[in-house]
Protein backbone atom coordinates (compact mmCIF):
# COMPACT_ATOMS: atom_id res chain seq x y z
CA UNK A 1 0.00 0.00 0.00
CA UNK A 2 2.82 2.41 0.87
CA UNK A 3 4.55 1.59 -2.41
CA UNK A 4 1.39 2.32 -4.40
CA UNK A 5 0.91 5.59 -2.51
CA UNK A 6 4.49 6.67 -3.25
CA UNK A 7 4.03 5.84 -6.96
CA UNK A 8 0.77 7.84 -7.04
CA UNK A 9 2.45 10.85 -5.46
CA UNK A 10 5.36 10.66 -7.92
CA UNK A 11 3.04 10.49 -10.92
CA UNK A 12 0.84 13.29 -9.53
CA UNK A 13 3.85 15.55 -8.98
CA UNK A 14 5.22 14.88 -12.47
CA UNK A 15 1.86 15.53 -14.09
CA UNK A 16 1.44 18.80 -12.22
CA UNK A 17 4.96 20.08 -12.89
CA UNK A 18 5.04 19.15 -16.58
CA UNK A 19 2.02 21.22 -17.55
CA UNK A 20 -0.34 18.28 -18.05
CA UNK A 21 -3.10 19.97 -16.06
CA UNK A 22 -4.33 22.77 -18.33
CA UNK A 23 -6.12 25.89 -17.13
CA UNK A 24 -8.87 27.86 -18.81
CA UNK A 25 -8.59 30.71 -21.29
CA UNK A 26 -11.66 32.37 -19.74
CA UNK A 27 -11.74 35.78 -21.47
CA UNK A 28 -10.17 37.91 -24.17
CA UNK A 29 -6.42 38.17 -23.54
CA UNK A 30 -6.62 35.23 -21.08
CA UNK A 31 -7.24 37.34 -17.93
CA UNK A 32 -8.64 40.66 -16.73
CA UNK A 33 -5.28 42.32 -17.39
CA UNK A 34 -5.27 40.97 -20.99
CA UNK A 35 -1.77 39.52 -20.47
CA UNK A 36 -1.92 36.90 -23.25
CA UNK A 37 0.21 34.61 -21.04
CA UNK A 38 -0.37 30.90 -20.40
CA UNK A 39 1.95 29.51 -17.72
CA UNK A 40 3.70 26.30 -18.70
CA UNK A 41 6.30 24.73 -20.98
CA UNK A 42 5.09 23.24 -24.26
CA UNK A 43 6.20 21.60 -27.46
CA UNK A 44 3.98 21.47 -30.53
CA UNK A 45 3.00 19.64 -33.65
CA UNK A 46 1.19 21.23 -36.57
CA UNK A 47 -1.79 18.94 -37.08
CA UNK A 48 -5.22 20.50 -37.66
CA UNK A 49 -7.63 18.62 -35.42
CA UNK A 50 -10.83 20.16 -36.74
CA UNK A 51 -12.23 23.31 -38.24
CA UNK A 52 -15.64 24.89 -37.96
CA UNK A 53 -17.04 27.50 -40.37
CA UNK A 54 -19.59 30.20 -39.60
CA UNK A 55 -21.41 32.36 -42.15
CA UNK A 56 -21.79 35.28 -39.77
CA UNK A 57 -19.44 37.48 -37.76
CA UNK A 58 -17.48 35.84 -34.96
CA UNK A 59 -17.09 38.35 -32.13
CA UNK A 60 -15.44 36.48 -29.27
CA UNK A 61 -14.10 33.07 -28.24
CA UNK A 62 -13.29 31.71 -24.78
CA UNK A 63 -12.42 28.25 -23.45
CA UNK A 64 -13.18 26.39 -20.25
CA UNK A 65 -13.91 22.89 -18.98
CA UNK A 66 -13.91 20.78 -22.14
CA UNK A 67 -15.69 23.29 -24.39
CA UNK A 68 -15.04 26.25 -26.65
CA UNK A 69 -17.63 29.04 -26.62
CA UNK A 70 -18.09 31.18 -29.73
CA UNK A 71 -20.13 34.41 -29.90
CA UNK A 72 -21.79 34.96 -33.30
CA UNK A 73 -23.20 38.33 -34.34
CA UNK A 74 -25.39 39.57 -37.18
CA UNK A 75 -27.70 42.51 -37.80
CA UNK A 76 -30.75 40.99 -36.15
CA UNK A 77 -29.66 38.57 -33.42
CA UNK A 78 -26.69 37.01 -31.63
CA UNK A 79 -25.95 33.44 -30.67
CA UNK A 80 -23.50 31.59 -28.45
CA UNK A 81 -22.34 28.21 -29.74
CA UNK A 82 -20.69 25.65 -27.45
CA UNK A 83 -18.24 23.36 -29.26
CA UNK A 84 -16.59 20.18 -28.02
CA UNK A 85 -12.94 21.20 -27.64
CA UNK A 86 -11.71 17.75 -28.70
CA UNK A 87 -13.83 17.28 -31.82
CA UNK A 88 -15.36 20.62 -32.79
CA UNK A 89 -18.87 19.14 -32.62
CA UNK A 90 -21.64 21.52 -31.60
CA UNK A 91 -23.03 20.88 -28.12
CA UNK A 92 -25.68 23.57 -27.97
CA UNK A 93 -26.66 26.95 -29.36
CA UNK A 94 -28.25 29.72 -27.29
CA UNK A 95 -29.91 32.88 -28.58
CA UNK A 96 -28.70 35.96 -26.71
CA UNK A 97 -29.26 39.74 -27.03
CA UNK A 98 -27.00 41.68 -29.38
CA UNK A 99 -23.54 42.67 -28.18
CA UNK A 100 -20.07 43.64 -29.37
CA UNK A 101 -16.46 42.56 -28.74
CA UNK A 102 -14.94 41.26 -25.51
CA UNK A 103 -18.27 40.01 -24.27
CA UNK A 104 -17.74 36.41 -23.10
CA UNK A 105 -16.25 35.20 -19.83
CA UNK A 106 -16.32 31.60 -18.61
CA UNK A 107 -16.23 30.80 -14.88
CA UNK A 108 -16.49 27.43 -13.13
CA UNK A 109 -20.25 27.17 -13.54
CA UNK A 110 -21.54 30.05 -15.64
CA UNK A 111 -20.84 31.69 -19.00
CA UNK A 112 -21.16 35.48 -18.84
CA UNK A 113 -22.52 37.07 -22.02
CA UNK A 114 -22.52 40.86 -22.26
CA UNK A 115 -25.01 42.61 -24.54
CA UNK A 116 -26.30 46.12 -25.20
CA UNK A 117 -28.42 46.25 -22.05
CA UNK A 118 -26.64 44.09 -19.49
CA UNK A 119 -25.19 40.65 -18.85
CA UNK A 120 -26.76 37.21 -19.17
CA UNK A 121 -25.44 34.28 -17.14
CA UNK A 122 -25.82 30.97 -18.98
CA UNK A 123 -25.41 27.62 -17.26
CA UNK A 124 -23.34 24.86 -18.83
CA UNK A 125 -26.36 23.69 -20.85
CA UNK A 126 -26.86 27.09 -22.47
CA UNK A 127 -29.91 27.97 -20.36
CA UNK A 128 -30.29 31.43 -18.80
CA UNK A 129 -29.52 31.27 -15.08
CA UNK A 130 -29.74 35.00 -14.29
CA UNK A 131 -29.48 38.44 -15.85
CA UNK A 132 -28.15 41.88 -14.92
CA UNK A 133 -30.05 44.69 -16.64
CA UNK A 134 -28.41 48.08 -17.21
CA UNK A 135 -28.98 51.06 -19.49
CA UNK A 136 -25.94 50.17 -21.60
CA UNK A 137 -23.20 47.54 -21.69
CA UNK A 138 -22.07 47.62 -25.30
CA UNK A 139 -18.29 47.80 -24.76
CA UNK A 140 -17.68 44.52 -22.94
CA UNK A 141 -17.01 43.03 -19.52
CA UNK A 142 -14.04 42.05 -17.36
CA UNK A 143 -13.89 39.81 -14.28
CA UNK A 144 -11.35 39.60 -11.46
CA UNK A 145 -12.34 37.41 -8.52
CA UNK A 146 -15.84 38.48 -7.51
CA UNK A 147 -15.62 41.89 -9.20
CA UNK A 148 -17.46 42.15 -12.53
CA UNK A 149 -16.75 45.26 -14.61
CA UNK A 150 -19.41 46.39 -17.11
CA UNK A 151 -18.26 48.87 -19.75
CA UNK A 152 -20.72 51.02 -21.70
CA UNK A 153 -20.46 53.88 -24.15
CA UNK A 154 -19.74 56.60 -21.61
CA UNK A 155 -19.37 54.88 -18.28
CA UNK A 156 -18.43 51.86 -16.20
CA UNK A 157 -20.11 49.90 -13.41
CA UNK A 158 -18.75 47.33 -10.98
CA UNK A 159 -20.89 44.48 -9.60
CA UNK A 160 -20.26 41.54 -7.31
CA UNK A 161 -20.58 38.39 -9.37
CA UNK A 162 -21.82 36.25 -6.47
CA UNK A 163 -24.80 38.47 -5.61
CA UNK A 164 -25.02 40.58 -8.81
CA UNK A 165 -25.10 43.66 -6.56
CA UNK A 166 -23.99 46.98 -8.07
CA UNK A 167 -21.15 48.49 -6.06
CA UNK A 168 -20.64 51.70 -8.01
CA UNK A 169 -20.78 53.37 -11.39
CA UNK A 170 -18.91 56.20 -13.08
CA UNK A 171 -19.60 58.32 -16.13
CA UNK A 172 -16.64 59.44 -18.19
CA UNK A 173 -16.52 61.61 -21.30
CA UNK A 174 -14.07 60.12 -23.76
CA UNK A 175 -14.01 58.55 -27.19
CA UNK A 176 -15.23 54.99 -26.66
CA UNK A 177 -13.50 53.82 -29.84
CA UNK A 178 -10.12 55.02 -28.55
CA UNK A 179 -10.32 53.68 -24.98
CA UNK A 180 -9.62 50.40 -23.25
CA UNK A 181 -9.88 49.04 -19.73
CA UNK A 182 -7.99 46.51 -17.68
CA UNK A 183 -8.87 45.25 -14.22
CA UNK A 184 -6.60 44.26 -11.34
CA UNK A 185 -7.57 42.97 -7.91
CA UNK A 186 -7.56 46.53 -6.55
CA UNK A 187 -8.19 48.94 -9.42
CA UNK A 188 -9.82 49.63 -12.77
CA UNK A 189 -7.52 51.32 -15.29
CA UNK A 190 -8.93 53.36 -18.17
CA UNK A 191 -6.61 54.46 -20.97
CA UNK A 192 -8.02 56.98 -23.43
CA UNK A 193 -6.09 58.70 -26.21
CA UNK A 194 -4.26 61.04 -23.83
CA UNK A 195 -4.98 60.09 -20.21
CA UNK A 196 -4.69 57.15 -17.85
CA UNK A 197 -7.22 57.03 -14.99
CA UNK A 198 -7.22 54.60 -12.06
CA UNK A 199 -10.41 53.85 -10.07
CA UNK A 200 -10.57 51.99 -6.78
CA UNK A 201 -12.33 48.72 -7.63
CA UNK A 202 -14.38 48.65 -4.41
CA UNK A 203 -15.52 52.28 -4.21
CA UNK A 204 -15.03 53.81 -7.65
CA UNK A 205 -12.98 56.65 -6.17
CA UNK A 206 -10.47 58.10 -8.64
CA UNK A 207 -6.95 57.25 -7.46
CA UNK A 208 -5.25 59.39 -10.09
CA UNK A 209 -5.53 60.79 -13.60
CA UNK A 210 -2.27 61.12 -15.51
CA UNK A 211 -1.34 62.56 -18.86
CA UNK A 212 -0.29 59.47 -20.81
CA UNK A 213 -0.63 60.24 -24.53
CA UNK A 214 -0.72 57.11 -26.65
CA UNK A 215 -2.11 59.01 -29.63
CA UNK A 216 -4.86 56.67 -30.73
CA UNK A 217 -6.52 53.33 -30.04
CA UNK A 218 -5.40 52.16 -26.60
CA UNK A 219 -3.90 48.69 -26.20
CA UNK A 220 -3.30 48.64 -22.45
CA UNK A 221 -2.14 45.46 -20.67
CA UNK A 222 -1.84 44.85 -16.91
CA UNK A 223 0.49 42.03 -15.87
CA UNK A 224 3.00 41.23 -13.14
CA UNK A 225 2.09 44.40 -11.25
CA UNK A 226 2.81 46.75 -14.18
CA UNK A 227 0.91 48.46 -16.99
CA UNK A 228 2.22 48.19 -20.56
CA UNK A 229 1.06 50.15 -23.60
CA UNK A 230 2.06 50.78 -27.20
CA UNK A 231 2.11 54.32 -28.52
CA UNK A 232 1.69 55.78 -31.98
CA UNK A 233 5.27 57.05 -32.08
CA UNK A 234 6.73 53.55 -32.08
CA UNK A 235 7.30 53.04 -28.36
CA UNK A 236 6.29 50.46 -25.78
CA UNK A 237 5.98 52.06 -22.34
CA UNK A 238 5.84 50.59 -18.83
CA UNK A 239 3.82 52.40 -16.17
CA UNK A 240 3.72 52.00 -12.39
CA UNK A 241 0.01 51.29 -11.71
CA UNK A 242 0.26 52.70 -8.19
CA UNK A 243 1.23 56.18 -9.35
CA UNK A 244 0.61 56.33 -13.11
CA UNK A 245 4.23 57.37 -13.63
CA UNK A 246 6.25 55.99 -16.50
CA UNK A 247 8.91 53.45 -15.47
CA UNK A 248 10.66 52.97 -18.82
CA UNK A 249 10.27 53.41 -22.58
CA UNK A 250 11.44 51.14 -25.37
CA UNK A 251 11.68 52.58 -28.90
CA UNK A 252 11.00 50.23 -31.80
CA UNK A 253 12.36 50.69 -35.30
CA UNK A 254 8.95 51.84 -36.55
CA UNK A 255 7.27 55.23 -36.30
CA UNK A 256 3.83 56.50 -37.33
CA UNK A 257 3.64 59.76 -35.39
CA UNK A 258 0.22 61.37 -35.82
CA UNK A 259 -1.58 58.19 -36.81
CA UNK A 260 -4.58 57.11 -34.75
CA UNK A 261 -3.28 53.54 -34.36
CA UNK A 262 -0.41 52.50 -32.10
CA UNK A 263 2.76 51.54 -33.97
CA UNK A 264 3.92 49.32 -31.10
CA UNK A 265 1.21 46.71 -30.85
CA UNK A 266 -0.53 44.91 -27.96
CA UNK A 267 2.09 43.02 -25.91
CA UNK A 268 1.80 39.61 -24.27
CA UNK A 269 3.41 39.63 -20.85
CA UNK A 270 4.46 36.80 -18.53
CA UNK A 271 7.33 34.65 -17.33
CA UNK A 272 9.72 37.61 -17.44
CA UNK A 273 9.02 38.28 -21.14
CA UNK A 274 7.18 40.99 -23.09
CA UNK A 275 6.45 40.03 -26.70
CA UNK A 276 4.77 42.33 -29.23
CA UNK A 277 4.57 43.19 -32.89
CA UNK A 278 5.04 46.61 -34.48
CA UNK A 279 4.30 48.63 -37.58
CA UNK A 280 7.80 47.81 -38.90
CA UNK A 281 6.66 44.15 -39.26
CA UNK A 282 9.01 42.96 -36.56
CA UNK A 283 8.35 40.84 -33.48
CA UNK A 284 10.10 42.10 -30.34
CA UNK A 285 10.88 40.44 -27.01
CA UNK A 286 11.92 42.49 -23.97
CA UNK A 287 12.74 41.63 -20.40
CA UNK A 288 10.85 43.13 -17.46
CA UNK A 289 13.18 46.14 -17.39
CA UNK A 290 12.57 47.01 -21.03
CA UNK A 291 15.83 45.63 -22.37
CA UNK A 292 15.74 44.03 -25.81
CA UNK A 293 16.21 40.25 -25.81
CA UNK A 294 15.66 39.76 -29.52
CA UNK A 295 13.74 40.97 -32.55
CA UNK A 296 12.85 39.16 -35.73
CA UNK A 297 11.69 40.54 -39.08
CA UNK A 298 8.86 39.71 -41.51
CA UNK A 299 6.15 39.18 -38.89
CA UNK A 300 3.12 41.06 -40.23
CA UNK A 301 0.54 41.73 -37.52
CA UNK A 302 -2.27 44.23 -36.99
CA UNK A 303 -2.19 46.60 -34.02
CA UNK A 304 -4.68 44.52 -32.00
CA UNK A 305 -3.15 41.11 -32.85
CA UNK A 306 -1.71 40.08 -29.51
CA UNK A 307 0.69 37.12 -29.37
CA UNK A 308 -0.04 34.21 -27.06
CA UNK A 309 3.00 33.16 -25.03
CA UNK A 310 4.03 30.33 -22.73
CA UNK A 311 7.23 29.98 -20.73
CA UNK A 312 9.12 28.74 -23.79
CA UNK A 313 7.14 29.59 -26.94
CA UNK A 314 5.45 32.46 -28.79
CA UNK A 315 2.44 31.96 -31.07
CA UNK A 316 1.03 34.50 -33.51
CA UNK A 317 -1.43 34.41 -36.38
CA UNK A 318 -0.04 36.82 -38.96
CA UNK A 319 -1.80 38.90 -41.60
CA UNK A 320 -1.21 36.15 -44.17
CA UNK A 321 -3.25 33.74 -42.09
CA UNK A 322 -0.32 31.68 -40.90
CA UNK A 323 0.05 30.27 -37.43
CA UNK A 324 3.68 30.83 -36.47
CA UNK A 325 5.68 29.50 -33.54
CA UNK A 326 8.87 31.11 -32.15
CA UNK A 327 11.33 30.15 -29.42
CA UNK A 328 10.81 32.73 -26.68
CA UNK A 329 14.45 32.55 -25.56
CA UNK A 330 16.05 33.19 -28.97
CA UNK A 331 13.35 34.46 -31.33
CA UNK A 332 14.10 31.65 -33.78
CA UNK A 333 11.08 30.62 -35.79
CA UNK A 334 10.33 26.95 -35.18
CA UNK A 335 7.56 26.51 -37.74
CA UNK A 336 4.69 28.19 -39.55
CA UNK A 337 1.51 26.76 -40.96
CA UNK A 338 -0.99 28.18 -43.45
CA UNK A 339 -4.38 27.51 -41.95
CA UNK A 340 -6.55 28.45 -44.94
CA UNK A 341 -5.46 26.81 -48.19
CA UNK A 342 -8.51 27.59 -50.32
CA UNK A 343 -8.49 31.37 -50.01
CA UNK A 344 -6.38 34.09 -51.63
CA UNK A 345 -6.92 36.48 -48.75
CA UNK A 346 -7.54 36.03 -45.06
CA UNK A 347 -7.08 37.92 -41.84
CA UNK A 348 -6.80 36.80 -38.21
CA UNK A 349 -9.39 37.64 -35.57
CA UNK A 350 -7.80 38.19 -32.19
CA UNK A 351 -4.97 36.20 -30.65
CA UNK A 352 -4.39 32.44 -30.56
CA UNK A 353 -5.88 30.69 -27.54
CA UNK A 354 -3.94 28.01 -25.64
CA UNK A 355 -6.25 25.57 -23.90
CA UNK A 356 -6.69 21.91 -23.02
CA UNK A 357 -3.62 20.73 -24.92
CA UNK A 358 -4.34 22.56 -28.20
CA UNK A 359 -3.96 25.88 -29.95
CA UNK A 360 -7.18 27.56 -31.07
CA UNK A 361 -7.06 30.19 -33.79
CA UNK A 362 -9.72 32.10 -35.67
CA UNK A 363 -9.51 33.70 -39.10
CA UNK A 364 -11.74 35.28 -41.73
CA UNK A 365 -11.50 33.95 -45.29
CA UNK A 366 -12.01 35.99 -48.46
CA UNK A 367 -15.36 34.30 -48.95
CA UNK A 368 -16.54 36.15 -45.80
CA UNK A 369 -17.04 32.82 -44.01
CA UNK A 370 -15.60 33.06 -40.54
CA UNK A 371 -13.55 29.95 -39.97
CA UNK A 372 -12.31 28.64 -36.67
CA UNK A 373 -9.31 26.33 -36.58
CA UNK A 374 -7.84 24.11 -33.90
CA UNK A 375 -4.23 22.90 -33.84
CA UNK A 376 -2.62 20.31 -31.61
CA UNK A 377 -0.28 21.30 -28.81
CA UNK A 378 1.51 18.67 -26.71
CA UNK A 379 2.93 19.11 -23.20
CA UNK A 380 6.70 18.99 -22.97
CA UNK A 381 7.41 15.50 -21.63
CA UNK A 382 11.06 15.28 -22.71
CA UNK A 383 12.49 16.44 -19.40
CA UNK A 384 10.02 14.28 -17.46
CA UNK A 385 10.78 10.94 -19.09
CA UNK A 386 14.18 10.56 -17.48
CA UNK A 387 12.76 11.61 -14.11
CA UNK A 388 9.90 9.13 -14.41
CA UNK A 389 12.23 6.27 -15.36
CA UNK A 390 14.58 7.12 -12.49
CA UNK A 391 11.67 7.37 -10.03
CA UNK A 392 10.24 4.05 -11.24
CA UNK A 393 13.59 2.32 -10.92
CA UNK A 394 14.08 3.77 -7.45
CA UNK A 395 10.62 2.68 -6.38
CA UNK A 396 11.20 -0.81 -7.78
CA UNK A 397 14.45 -1.09 -5.83
CA UNK A 398 12.67 -0.04 -2.62
CA UNK A 399 9.86 -2.57 -3.16
CA UNK A 400 12.32 -5.40 -3.87
CA UNK A 401 14.30 -4.50 -0.77
CA UNK A 402 11.10 -4.53 1.33
CA UNK A 403 10.12 -7.92 -0.13
CA UNK A 404 13.55 -9.35 0.63
CA UNK A 405 13.34 -8.01 4.18
CA UNK A 406 9.91 -9.64 4.70
CA UNK A 407 11.17 -13.00 3.39
CA UNK A 408 14.13 -12.89 5.75
CA UNK A 409 11.85 -12.20 8.71
CA UNK A 410 9.53 -15.03 7.66
CA UNK A 411 12.41 -17.56 7.58
CA UNK A 412 13.32 -16.65 11.11
CATH code where residue 105 lies: 2.130.10.10
Residues 228 and 212 in one domain: yes
Whether 21 shows a pLDDT value over 60: the answer reads: no
Residues 53 and 115 in one domain: yes
- Smallest Cα–Cα separation from 229: which of 62, 38, 33? 33
Domain range enclosing 9? 1-18+385-412
Residues 249 and 123 in one domain: yes
Residues 47 and 149 in one domain: yes
Residues 394 and 364 in one domain: no
Could you tell me which residue, 7 or 288, shows the higher pLDDT?
288
**Rounded to the nearest 10 degrees, how much is the dihedral formed by the CA atoms of 193, 99, 133, 164?**
-80
Residues 284 and 294 in one domain: yes
- From 279-283, 292-296, 352-356, the region with the lowest mean pLDDT: 352-356
Residues 281 and 390 in one domain: no
> What b/e string do you get for 393-411 counting C-beta neighbours within 10 Å, with b at 16 or more?
eeeeeeeeeeeeeeeeeee
pLDDT for 409 equals 60
Q: How confident is the model at residue 337 (pLDDT cuts 50, 70, 90)?
A: confident
State the DSSP code for 264: B
- Smallest Cα–Cα separation from 115: which of 67, 60, 52, 174? 60
- Using one digit for the tens of pLDDT, what is the confidence trace for 61-70? 888 888 999 8
pLDDT for 302 equals 75
Residues 165 and 263 in one domain: yes
> How many CB atoms neighbour CB 332 within 10 A?
11
- Helical packing angle, 382-411 and 2-17, nearest 10°: 170
Residues 27 and 5 in one domain: no
- Using one digit for the tens of pLDDT, what is the confidence trace for 114-130? 888 889 999 999 999 99
Please give the average per-residue pLDDT across 5-27, as a whole number. 40
- Using one digit for the tens of pLDDT, what is the confidence trace for 237-268? 999 999 999 999 999 987 665 555 667 888 99
Residues 12 and 24 in one domain: no
> How many CB atoms neighbour CB 382 within 10 A?
10
Q: Name beta bridge partners: 283.
A: 277, 296
Residues 125 and 175 in one domain: yes
**Domain count within the chain:** 2
pLDDT for 103 equals 81
pLDDT for 163 equals 94
Please give the average per-residue pLDDT across 161-185, as a whole number. 79
- Using one digit for the tens of pLDDT, what is the confidence trace for 353-390? 888 767 787 766 544 445 555 555 544 443 344 334 44
Residues 401 and 257 in one domain: no
**Rounded to the nearest 10 degrees, how much is the dihedral formed by the CA atoms of 221, 227, 230, 235?**
-150
Amino acid sequence: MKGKLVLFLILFTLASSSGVAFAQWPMDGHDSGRSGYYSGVFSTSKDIYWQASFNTSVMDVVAGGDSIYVRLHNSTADQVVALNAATGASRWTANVPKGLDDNLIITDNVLLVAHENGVVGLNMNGETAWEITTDNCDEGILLNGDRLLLIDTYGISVYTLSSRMRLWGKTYMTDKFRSQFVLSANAVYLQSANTLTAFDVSTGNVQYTKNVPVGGDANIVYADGKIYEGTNDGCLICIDPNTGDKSWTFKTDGNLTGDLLPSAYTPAVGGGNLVFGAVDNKLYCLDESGNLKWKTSSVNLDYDDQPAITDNLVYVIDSYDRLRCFDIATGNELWKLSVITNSLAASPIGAPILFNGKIFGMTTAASSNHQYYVFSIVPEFTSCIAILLFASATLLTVLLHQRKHRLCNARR
